[in-house]
A = this chain, B = another copy of it.
């Protein structure tokens, strides 16, 4: 008897959302718990176990789960571990795949949140049918999931696709959480937009702006958006500046993997033409000739909450086959793209 469902779990800094998903990508039911409520990972997993078990019982899904897929910050697909440097309240590394698998007796596979979003988009969203695309998540930070020839790029160690940490400003760039300066995410994330607004307000101190009604340190990207929509020149310039930097970065990413499309996801991606117009213009202006007019910028077609759970859940179908680095055979000579059959688990 093959099992008809998977579970997707999205672990965010604030909330952990989880859902039961069928082979067609329908989220049968979902629920959430607070990520930061527990001081130990064990207590957190206890609550997750209790709440997920309730959800499974209520949906007659006990014993019907093929696998659990988890999207989490800095989660390594190869090792099943959450690595250091993340905004979670527990010591790292966390052997998450093992811990959750032990708890539920179900195979578990994990990847980072941006990769999970890319998988969700490829399976159920704007990237259906695309073999080469790059998912860019514009949230608190900038994340990415790179798909080449139909496969998610993990790199030799499982961490590939950290495009938020491409350096876009080599001199006097903004300090990034990674310890370096000038990373894309210091400019083109939600926090980057707020930072730009604060800089503009200071540099253009004689210019009136609706944003001056808000205490400087409290300004959010949402405030900048609202001001820009209300016609505020300075706020509109913030989006112009943001789109300009992001567009140049997308043009650079294109020379790497020649994607058919970039797919934008996250709060900032909902800024409409305020962001999209300067972004498209900058990408085209900076694009090398052979790709001018050929690379699309698309918006995610998934509801934000669903995308994370759906993306994570797609990994659940593969969980029992999770390879470890030592188990991956070395394939030295595939001189042409290996066309492999789809593994969609259509029952």
Chain A residues near B (Cβ < 8 Å)? 69, 77, 83, 85, 109, 119, 122-123, 128-132, 146, 148-163, 165-170, 178-180, 248, 251-253, 255-260, 286, 288-291, 294, 314-315, 317-318, 321-323, 328-344
Contacts and interface: CB of A to CB of B under 8 A. Distances in A.
Nearest to A311: B335
Contact of A146 (B253, B256, B288): B256
Contacts of A148: 148, 151, 153, 155, 160
A329 B337 CA distance: 11
A163 B256 contact: yes
A328 to B, nearest CB: 6
A170 B344 contact: no
Contacts of A253: 256
28 contacts: A85-B289, A85-B290, A128-B332, A148-B148, A148-B151, A148-B160, A150-B338, A152-B334, A152-B335, A152-B337, A156-B258, A157-B258, A157-B294, A160-B257, A166-B256, A167-B248, A167-B251, A167-B286, A168-B170, A253-B256, A317-B333, A321-B336, A328-B339, A329-B342, A331-B341, A331-B343, A334-B342, A338-B343
A322 B339 CA distance: 11
A28 to B, nearest CB: 19
Contacts of A168: 170
A149 B157 CA distance: 11
A79 to B, nearest CB: 13
A47 B152 CA distance: 45
A82 to B, nearest CB: 13
Contacts of A291: 157, 159
A95 to B, nearest CB: 17
Given A248-B167, A256-B161, A109 B153 contact: no
What is the oligomeric copy number? 2
A169 B167 CA distance: 11
Q: Which 4 A-B pairs have the closest CB atoms?
A: A155-B258, A160-B258, A156-B260, A150-B331
Contacts of A338: 150-151, 338, 340, 343
Contact of A335 (B178, B318, B332): B318
Contact of A122 (B122, B163, B314, B333): B333
Contacts of A339: 323, 328-329, 331
A104 to B, nearest CB: 19
A256 B119 contact: no
Contacts of A170: 168-170, 248
B334 A162 contact: no
Given A152-B337, A339-B331, A258 B288 contact: no
A179 B292 CA distance: 13
A332 B151 contact: no
Given A157-B291, A328-B337, A329-B342, 12 more contacts: A69-B335, A123-B332, A153-B258, A155-B257, A159-B258, A165-B288, A166-B255, A167-B251, A169-B170, A322-B336, A334-B340, A338-B338
A292 to B, nearest CB: 10
Contacts of A315: 335-336
A333 B69 CA distance: 14
